Amino acid sequence: MINVVFAETALELVPSEIQRTPQVLAEAKRRRKAAGELLLDANKHYAAMSALASKEKRGRPDIAHDLLKYALDSPLNKNGALRVFMHCRGDYVLKVSSETRLPRSFNQFCGLIEDVWKKKKICAGGKTLLELQKQTLGELLAEIGCVTLVFDARGEQTSLRSLVKKLEKLAGKEKDFTVVIGGFPHGDFENKLALADFEHVALTGGELTAPAVLAQALTCIQMALEKEK
């Protein structure tokens, strides 16, 4: 089983510091929700976010949407070989069932995630599809408890060919392993302590977006697993 962890994903509700700003209040009124029940979105709340710490890494639910779509649509997931975890800002973890079918519409996705934050669980057909719990990145990785490879722009420069070989060795030695990909648009991991004991690699070709890293990582994992058969 391959575990994919999206770390420090730019997914959170509007924080208390900006809930009384005009942008947020206008959206809350329009959508008939409390300000604190809305997802933070830099496209809507850019001016209000100027007061937030680490604002360049926050308010990008579109990245979360893309990452989850790519992961859940992948052949690895469809073959039952993938488990997906989304660690979000504020130390919440969204556990995503392989059977989850995400809305293709971004607005509907945001509504779904707002529901998850409120209800903590989304179920259908007697199965839990999405579950949110309070958990740090370190606690999540300890719970998963297997060899971890971190994709990090500041890690060891690694070609796709070398990555496939590295993953082949992992797949040959370990029944399960984990890959960690940052779910934020810019900058570095903040919780370096939780990732300090793991191998960090950077894909060659310049700094890539999180969805681009995921796409290449999933392809390389699939190639590595096919060679192991």
Q: Residue 214: give its domain's CATH number.
A: 3.40.1280.10
As for how many domains the chain has, the answer is 2
Residue 135 exposure: Cα atoms within 13 Å on the Cβ side: 20
- Contact between 95 and 72 under an 8 Å Cβ cutoff? The reply is no
Q: Which of 174, 159, 192, 158 is nearest to 7 (CA)?
A: 192
One domain for residues 158 and 49: no
Mean pLDDT of 206-218: 93
One domain for residues 114 and 169: yes
Q: Which of 128, 126, 125, 70 is nearest to 94 (CA)?
A: 128
Q: What is the pTM of this model?
A: 0.95
One domain for residues 30 and 129: no
Identify the pLDDT of residue 206. 79
Identify the pLDDT of residue 229. 58
Cα Rg of the chain, angstroms: 18
pLDDT per position as a tens digit, 131-153? 999 999 999 999 998 889 999 99
Residue 159: band (very low, low, confident or very high) from pLDDT cuts 50, 70, 90: very high
One domain for residues 110 and 216: yes
